[in-house]
Amino acid sequence: MKTPDIRLEASKEIDIRFSEVDSMNFVWHGAYALYFEDGREAFGAKYGLGYLDIFSNGYYAPLVDLKFSYKKPLMYGAKARVDIVYRDTEAAKILFDYRIVDLCDGALVATGSSVQVFLDKDYRLVWGNPPFYETWKQKMGLL
């Protein structure tokens, strides 16, 4: 039985680099995809659900949906934090929600979400949760 009060989350601090800003000195909108990726890597390292963990179990987990909502621009030299929260589902998917916060003033910079599905090593879509993912969910107390 699922325990609804379990919250799996991770955070990663980000230093805004010159290569990430546009001519207005704002972080280019495409860089936020990389910040969300940094969050997924931090989550994977913390909870044992990283890309190499998935791959070593015979699967890929490509992104099929990625959404952003921008609230406030980040500027070159700023420090920010991406927070990522796992959203449990019975479907054979990995769902995450994101928040990026400006560490200078605590303001919310962006929110978003992502969906990843499972492919086998022959790049075929997997409709049921892979056994390693079911085991991971049990270990995390989600089942």
Residue 114 lies in a domain: yes
Marked catalytic residue, from 5, 15, 22, 65: 22
Q: What 3-state class would DSSP assign to 130?
A: coil
CATH at residue 73:
3.10.129.10
Report the domain count for the chain: 1
Measured CA distances, 53 to 17, 59, 95, 109 (Å): 29, 9, 17, 31
Q: From CA 20, how far away is CA 25, in angstroms rounded?
A: 9
Would the pLDDT of 77 be above 60?
Answer: yes
- Nearest to 113, CA basis, from 58, 63, 46: 63
Domain that holds residue 69: 9-126
In whole numbers, what is the pLDDT of the chain averaged over residues? 95
Check if 22 is active-site: yes
pTM attached to this predicted model: 0.93
pLDDT tens digit sequence for 34-73: 999 999 999 999 999 999 999 999 999 999 999 999 999 9
